[in-house]
Amino acid sequence: MKKTIITMLIALVAMFASAETYSYLKFTMTDGTTLTYSAQGIKLTYDASSVYVSNNETTATIALANVQDMYFSNEEAPSVLRGDVDNDGIVNIADVTALVDYVLTHNVAGINIAAADCDQDGEVSIADITALVDYILAGNW
């Protein structure tokens, strides 16, 4: 049933998107964050548990259980410094500490959830800690 609903939702989004030209595809997640992808050359596929978003910039897997809303927009995403979990404008070991604390407690106080999704999979988990540590050590995502 869920697959049928998702199929209808994707068909409706595609139908409305063809009536206008949009710049971005956005997903509002159940935790309140918004994931934004360029609509240029976008390709959507899905299975029973995930939506796969591919375009010229990135490929992402988004768990359907975490999606609250999906829509096209012309509004650009607010600028987020990936990995700046404590929102102080720099990415450093303090962000790793804040991210570990969040993953263990789920206390969002002082946490930039959008920046905490370091591996950009639509979820904040231990994988994001690994990605953030790798970034700090190697200097690239």
- Among 93, 89, 102, which Cα is nearest to 137's? 93
Give the model's pLDDT for residue 19: 47
SS3 at position 134: helix
Task: Quote the CA–CA distance of 5 and 22 in Å, as a whole number.
Answer: 23
Paired residues of 51 in beta bridges? 46, 62
pLDDT tens, 22-65?
A: 888 888 877 767 777 777 788 888 898 988 888 765 677 888 88
pLDDT tens, 54-66?
A: 876 567 788 888 8
Q: Where in the chain is the domain with CATH 2.30.30.100?
A: 2-73
* Model pTM score: 0.49
Does the 2-73 domain belong in CATH 2.10.10.90?
no
